[in-house]
Amino acid sequence: MPQPGSATVRSHVRIPLTFPDGYRADAEVSTFHGLADGAEHLALALGTVPAGGTPLVRLHSECLTGDVFGSDRCDCGPQLRESVERISEAGGYLLYLRQEGRGIGLYNKLDAYALQDSGLDTYDANTALGLPEDGRDYTAAAQMLTALGVDEVDLLSNNPDKAAQLAGLGITVRRRVPTGVHLSASNVRYLTAKVERTGHSIELSRLVG
């Protein structure tokens, strides 16, 4: 995979975060110039990386329904909340990437939900719309990390494709750290499809037991 061009940090600003359960964290939010896809991605610096340590990093794709409205059709909102706390404790970055619906956009994602209601899984619903199963490209994420001076990470993710793409883009993934299992009656088919179709590191026994 070709290495991405350079990006630069555009600005930093402190934002105190408060989640619905009362958890609080301080984030230094960075914006960027020169990202490959031209989108307004953000990097949230959380906690302090110990001297000589490797930052804990999550690539979190934007999910309006899950992150903002608390939808139970996915696990995105709980993963975001978990990630902020774990990264705050370990020191690192949460990259908030504007990749709604695994890169297909909000309206298409909602159209895919309608197809899922008729029996398709999350991946087949995308392809039934003529869209990729997962259209995300992490070139901009690698650019962001490089601009922040990060070339090695512990990646907080269940998704092997994120680690593979980052490695191909010149970021060393020292290890992949799975998130918790955020199960609801509404997302069990979605999580099961992630395991069976794309090898996500989620314990199936927690989903079907």
Mean pLDDT of each 10-residue bin along the chain, 209 residues long: 80 97 97 97 96 95 96 91 97 97 94 93 91 93 97 94 95 92 60 59 50
> What was the pLDDT predicted at 209?
45
Torsion angle (degrees, nearest 10) of CA 132, 32, 14, 141: 40
**Looking at 58, 86, 102, 136, which residue is catalytic?**
136
Cα–Cα distance measured from residue 102 to residue 117, given in angstroms and rounded to the nearest whole number: 18
Any residues with CB less than 8 A from the CB of 126 and at least 6 apart, and which? 102, 104, 108, 112, 132, 133, 134
Q: Tell me 3's DSSP state.
A: P
- Catalytic one of 67, 111, 121, 134: 134
- The per-residue pLDDT for 185 is 59
Cα–Cα distance between 204 and 108 in angstroms, integer?
28
Q: For residue 181, give the amino acid letter.
A: V
Pair 63, 99: CB distance under 8 Å = no
- pLDDT at site 122: 84
Query: Is 151 one of the annotated active-site residues of the chain?
Result: no
Q: 34 Cβ partners below 8 Å, 6+ apart?
A: 5, 6, 7, 8, 143
Q: Is 98 a catalytic residue?
A: no
pTM comes to: 0.88
